[in-house]
Amino acid sequence: MSEVKESSGYENFVGKKEKLQTSGNIFEALELPDSGVDVNSAEWQKHWKGMPEFEQENKNTYKTLYVHFRNKEDYEEFAKLIGQNLTEKTKSIWHPALDRTANSLLRWVED
C-alpha cells in the first residue's frame, strides 16, 4: 500500500484534550464584548425578586436503539406499529411520541 502525502497543512488534535476554562464569565467564555454587568456579584439578585423557583429535572435518554430496515415496506410497517409518522427524513424519534407542544402554551403572566 502506498502512502498518500498531505496536500495542505492542518492542526492535528487527535489524542489531545483542550483544557476547559473554569473561571471568568459568560462574556469571556463566548468571546463577547463585556456588557458591563458583573455576573459574579449579587447585584443581579435584586432584579430577580419574586421570580418563581426553577429546577431542571433530569431528562437524559434512558436507552438509544438503532434499528435497521431491509426495505421501505418494513419501515412503513414499523411506523404503523409504533403509531408515529416517519418520513424518509426522520433521523430520530422518542417513544412514546414526544409532545413538543405540551409546554409551548405556558407563559409568565403578571396581574
pTM for this entry: 0.43
Number of domains in the chain: 1
**Which pLDDT value is given to residue 106?**
74
Distance CA 94, CA 84 (A): 10
Walking along the chain (111 residues) 10 residues at a time, the average pLDDT comes out as: 73 68 65 66 72 78 92 96 93 86 73 70
Q: How many helices (H) and strands (E) does the chain have?
A: 2, 0
Distance CA 27, CA 36 (A): 10
Tell me, yes or no, whether 94 lies in a domain.
Answer: yes
d(C-alpha 73, C-alpha 10), whole Å? 45
pLDDT of residue 100: 74
Q: Which position has the grid cell 456579584? A: 41
pLDDT of residue 68: 95
Residue 48: per-residue pLDDT:
73
Does residue 10 lie in a domain region?
Answer: no
Residue range of the domain that includes 95: 62-101
Q: pLDDT at position 6, please?
A: 72
